[in-house]
A and B are shown apart, each in its own frame.
Chain A
């Protein structure tokens, strides 16, 4: 499935660059951001199908990003990225409207599956 546009947000720049490159190698149009505020600015400027955002970040955290994204772009799907075992944050994210969560370290195949599911869900809603 080509043409899927993904924004990957994490405070670890190394992680962002690696994941973005791996997604691109698989034909996904991926962009990265290393802070919540940067991500929100990018969302305003560009069009994305799915945003993947780390729960714990200095400054604007993942949950706050979910809240703001859902407030302004209800159809934009958000997937939370959390450390192992942070189910409480993941659950709260779900309440705020996040589509799903992915545990770190990331299994790229699982991430792509979830991204596709999220995009499919959006298309269904659009239709």
Chain B
């Protein structure tokens, strides 16, 4: 069967572990599992970059559009701040000019003060001073010109008085004062050359500040107002109501420039708050804009981005699910085709084995048939050809021969039937020794004619195994056929059975044939590998391998050129599927 190479004396062994020729079908769960894996991997690979891109886009667009929305707001706040600061500083300068221009004795005279107010108001165009008073360093109002009766009042317990005394100038919060009308005061201190001081103090209607804010070109929807550092409105607010009421927002932290923050107001609405502290005053300029209005473009874009993301994810998932379904379906079909093909090949091999068996049986049955034929013929000859009646004993002898030959035929047919009877049984208790002898019965005549000596070595206590009889018959038929093909006439085949580790039974079939070269031994279990000249199918051992693996066993081959080959089959005592 295998080429003989005179060269070497090596020994080679091969164990094949991968069940590549296993014919068992794949369970449906494993396809579901595979599909889940494919879907997860594909989804991760495609959705992760998409999501990351979208998040980056989201953050960047949001930043850019927010900057775009916030920038004009901050500019408006800054302009208004500048204008208010200018307004206040003009009025402070007016008062300071008065103080530097002439001694207070000259000012303090009813007619003189009234004229000064009038002149100041004329020069400043807007921002009319309501009144003007002069207060000495004890807090007494020395003289006063204005619509109210305030002369002779003492301001020593007023906070602004001490602030002016300390800092030289002061701008007050808006207050109602004695006149019950919102206004604020600007005061400047003037030192006497010989120590002591007096204060020039003028009041301005709160209205003037509101008007000043409105001059900076606000949009109708803008809400710009002043608060003091306690969060009390110093000018009316569109959102938060009238002057001198508190606003429901935290007072912005001090900053020398314009600050814009986003926060939620008391109604839970997101708003942008742009704020600036007015220099040399208690006022904080605040501008409010609802985020919805400021970020209108952003919200549109955000919906678009989100829509795009949802559609993309939808499309990707659909494609992945559809694709994976197709893919798994294809794999499954391929698997099924492969399994079907394997079963077909296995079936062909089985048919071939049966064919071989049938040929053997036909040969064996032919011999007793030939005897019956001759004995019957002889009987006829005796009746027709010889004149004397044949003796009774002779006739009986002939008939006995016929009967014993018929018995031989019956034994052979029974054996074949016994062999075939178990074809469909999946699992049963098997005595391997008996099974091997059964298989050998079919091959025995060939061994006999070729003077091949087949020996058994079986321990008394060899355990039985649970397995599939017809599959095992095929395995050993293949292995023993190979062994018979490998040995020369007069050769030996040794069959040993023994208990192995882990509740197994080990069957070793050793022949003293030519042996297998190392290059071939690695391929021996591969399908379509054959060294038979004029060709076997090359499927016998690959199918044998597949069956042994399916039965939960292992098969190995060891060979030494010129010495022989030994196949070892390890089978579990219990059936492992």
Whether the Cβ atoms of B377 and A18 lie closer than 8 Å is yes
Q: In the docked arrangement, what's the CA distance between A85 and B355, Å? A: 14
Q: In the docked arrangement, what's the CA distance between A58 and B450, Å? A: 7
Judged by a CB distance under 8 angstroms, whether A22 is at the interface is yes
| Residue among B385, B398, B449 with max Cβ neighbours from chain A (10 Å) | B449
Whether the Cβ atoms of A58 and B449 lie closer than 8 Å is yes
- A59: chain B residues within 8 A (beta carbon): 451
Judged by a CB distance under 8 angstroms, whether A84 is at the interface is yes
- A58: chain B residues within 8 A (beta carbon): 448-449, 451
- The answer to whether residues A15 and B370 also contact, given A56-B449, A61-B449 and a CB cut-off of 8 A, is yes
Judged by a CB distance under 8 angstroms, whether B367 is at the interface is yes
- A18: chain B residues within 8 A (beta carbon): 371, 374-375, 377-378, 398, 401
Judged by a CB distance under 8 angstroms, whether A40 is at the interface is no
B389 CB to closest chain A CB, in angstroms?
A: 14
Whether the Cβ atoms of A105 and B448 lie closer than 8 Å is no
Q: In the docked arrangement, what's the CA distance between A109 and B567, Å? A: 50
Among A5-28, those with CB < 8 Å from B are 12, 14-15, 18-19, 21-22, 25-26
Residue-wise interface mask of B (357-377) relative to A, using a CB-CB cutoff of 8 A (1 in contact, 0 not): 000001100110111111101
Whether the Cβ atoms of A12 and B378 lie closer than 8 Å is no
- B377: chain A residues within 8 A (beta carbon): 18, 22, 108
Whether the Cβ atoms of B371 and A15 lie closer than 8 Å is yes
**Of B363, B373, B386, B401, the contact of A25 (CB 8 Å cutoff):** B386
- B371: chain A residues within 8 A (beta carbon): 12, 14-15, 18
B367 CB to closest chain A CB, in angstroms?
A: 6
Whether the Cβ atoms of A22 and B381 lie closer than 8 Å is yes
Q: Can you name the residue of chain A whose Cβ is closest to the Cβ of B398?
A: A18
Q: Can you name the residue of chain B whose Cβ is closest to the Cβ of A84?
A: B366
Residue-wise interface mask of B (444-476) relative to A, using a CB-CB cutoff of 8 A (1 in contact, 0 not): 000011010000000000000000000000000
Residue-wise interface mask of A (54-85) relative to B, using a CB-CB cutoff of 8 A (1 in contact, 0 not): 00111101000000000000000000000111
Q: Can you name the residue of chain B whose Cβ is closest to the Cβ of A60?
A: B451
Instruction: Report whether over half of chain A's contact residues are helix, strand or loop; otherwise say mixed.
Output: loop
Q: In the docked arrangement, what's the CA distance between A26 and B367, Å? A: 23
Whether the Cβ atoms of B370 and A106 lie closer than 8 Å is yes
Whether the Cβ atoms of A25 and B374 lie closer than 8 Å is no
- A26: chain B residues within 8 A (beta carbon): 381, 385
Q: In the docked arrangement, what's the CA distance between A18 and B404, Å? A: 14
Among A92-108, those with CB < 8 Å from B are 104-106, 108
Judged by a CB distance under 8 angstroms, whether B382 is at the interface is yes
Whether the Cβ atoms of B363 and A83 lie closer than 8 Å is yes
Judged by a CB distance under 8 angstroms, whether B405 is at the interface is yes
- B382: chain A residues within 8 A (beta carbon): 25
Q: In the docked arrangement, what's the CA distance between A25 and B374, Å? A: 13
- B363: chain A residues within 8 A (beta carbon): 56, 83
Residue-wise interface mask of B (509-525) relative to A, using a CB-CB cutoff of 8 A (1 in contact, 0 not): 00000000000000000
Among A21-38, those with CB < 8 Å from B are 21-22, 25-26
- A83: chain B residues within 8 A (beta carbon): 362-363, 366-367
Q: In the docked arrangement, what's the CA distance between A84 and B374, Å? A: 16
- B405: chain A residues within 8 A (beta carbon): 14
B376 CB to closest chain A CB, in angstroms?
A: 9
Q: In the docked arrangement, what's the CA distance between A58 and B489, Å? A: 11
- The answer to whether residues A22 and B374 also contact, given A15-B367, A83-B362, A84-B366 and a CB cut-off of 8 A, is yes
Whether the Cβ atoms of A21 and B378 lie closer than 8 Å is yes
Whether the Cβ atoms of B367 and A12 lie closer than 8 Å is yes
Q: In the docked arrangement, what's the CA distance between A83 and B371, Å? A: 13
Instruction: Spell out B's residues near A (CB within 8 Å).
Output: 362-363, 366-367, 369-375, 377-378, 381-382, 385-386, 398, 401, 404-405, 448-449, 451
Interchain residue pairs with CB less than 8 A apart (12): A14-B375, A14-B405, A15-B371, A15-B374, A18-B371, A21-B381, A25-B385, A26-B385, A58-B449, A104-B366, A105-B372, A108-B381
Closest 9 CB pairs of A and B: A18-B374, A105-B373, A104-B370, A105-B370, A83-B366, A14-B371, A25-B385, A18-B378, A56-B449
**Besides A14-B371, A22-B381, A106-B374, 9 new A-B residue pairs in contact (Cβ under 8 A), listed by A number:** A15-B371, A18-B378, A21-B378, A21-B381, A25-B381, A57-B449, A58-B448, A84-B366, A108-B381
